[in-house]
Amino acid sequence: MQGKTLNSRYLQASLILVIAAIALFFGLPISFSSGEVPVYKAEIVNQYPHDSNAFTQGLVFEDGKLYEGTGQRGQSAVRLLDLVTGELLQSQNLERRHFGEGITILDDKIYQLTWVSNVGFVYDKGSFNQLSSFYVPGEGWGITHNNEHLIISDGSSYLRFLDTETQSEVKRIQVIDELGPVSNLNELEYINGEIWSNIWYQDYIVRINPDTGEVNSRVDLTGLYTARRNIDAVLNGIAWDADNERLFVTGKLWPSLYEIEVLE
């Protein structure tokens, strides 16, 4: 992402305390996640080459293949990659006016968001030919699905669930942890009944209950890759190989993609 303001968790916590005090004064209901959220470490299982010029916005692994959505105007694309070598096998570029964001795959279709163009694109998974487009209100950040609905983030603390046929909003949830609302939700992945999300400019992943919005746990990836070229080279990209239960992560402009195991 570019042009978005980094939120301080300290300032967020202070604001939450003020809001809570006002709510209590006026007798309004207020509810945050109960208890401290567990934090898990992770270990690297494998490391693979990744295009260090790819501004990674979305990552998907399906049927033994790795798909990536990239950003930046003039560089945004949907790409098919060889996991082991990092070789680019196939791509579909966006028009220069579009800033590509997250991707997901459902029913042999690739769905891709754009940042501020208010449009998403649908491609045939095999040919990468564009099949259709759909309206995206507000900003588009991350996208995943639970086989029933598309789930998208827009940089706020809310996740929206969309009908897969009409792409109209069915419901939304607010993501909360022990401090309150969690904003800057970025790339998304649906894994074993949870929504996993990168937090923009943070080196951890939150695991979210899709029914309540509560953060169940965090995965701390501090130190995974430290030789970052600039402030935009942040952790971003989560892909789940459901067939073999493998978890892959990477970041914007990172030269490596990592297979990791979460140590619960």
Task: Answer with the residue of higher pLDDT: 21 or 67.
Answer: 67
Q: Number of structural domains, the chain?
A: 1
Q: What is the mean pLDDT of residues 204-230?
A: 96
Query: To the nearest whole number, what is the mean pLDDT of the chain?
Result: 90
Q: How far apart are CA 56 and CA 129, in angstroms?
A: 21
Helices and strands in the chain, H and E counts: 1, 22
* Residues whose CB is less than 8 angstroms from the CB of residue 100 and which lie 6 or more positions away in sequence, other chains included: 57, 69, 70, 71, 72, 76, 77, 78, 94, 112, 113, 114, 115
Q: How far apart are CA 184 and CA 201, in angstroms?
A: 8
- Specify the pLDDT at position 229: 85
- Specify the pLDDT at position 17: 45
Q: How far apart are CA 260 and CA 41, in angstroms?
A: 10
- Specify the pLDDT at position 16: 45
Q: What is the mean pLDDT of residues 90-118?
A: 97
In a domain, 109, yes or no: yes
% residues pLDDT > 90 (the chain): 85
In a domain, 2, yes or no: no
In a domain, 13, yes or no: yes
126: three-class secondary structure by DSSP: coil
CB 61 within 8 Å of CB 189? no
pLDDT at 34 over 70: no
Lowest mean pLDDT among 24-33, 55-64, 75-84, 180-189: 24-33
Q: How far apart are CA 187 and CA 196, in angstroms?
A: 8
In a domain, 135, yes or no: yes
- pLDDT confidence band for 23 (50 / 70 / 90): very low
Q: How far apart are CA 132 and CA 129, in angstroms?
A: 9
pLDDT at 27 over 80: no
Report the amino acid identity of residue 187. Answer: E
pLDDT at 38 over 90: yes
Residue 24: exposed, middle, or buried by beta-carbon count in 10 A (0-12, 13-18, 19+)? Answer: exposed
In a domain, 3, yes or no: no
What would the pLDDT profile of 171-193 be if each residue is shown by its tens digit? 999 999 999 999 999 999 999 99
% residues pLDDT > 70 (the chain): 87
Report the amino acid identity of residue 63. Answer: D
Lowest mean pLDDT among 4-8, 55-59, 85-89: 4-8
What are the φ/ψ torsions at residue 24 (nearest 5 degrees)? -65, -40
pLDDT at 170 over 60: yes
- Specify the pLDDT at position 199: 98
86: three-class secondary structure by DSSP: coil
Q: What is the mean pLDDT of residues 11-38?
A: 52
Instruction: For residue 84, give the CATH number of its domain.
Output: 2.120.10.30
Q: What is the mean pLDDT of residues 45-50?
A: 97
In a domain, 32, yes or no: yes
- Specify the pLDDT at position 98: 96
pLDDT at 155 over 50: yes
pLDDT at 82 over 70: yes
User: DSSP assignment, residue 214?
Assistant: B
What's the chain's Rg over C-alpha atoms?
18
Q: What is the mean pLDDT of residues 90-102?
A: 96
Q: What is the mean pLDDT of residues 148-174?
A: 96
In a domain, 4, yes or no: no
CB 100 within 8 Å of CB 114? yes
- Specify the pLDDT at position 11: 52
Domain encompassing residue 232: 9-263
In a domain, 120, yes or no: yes
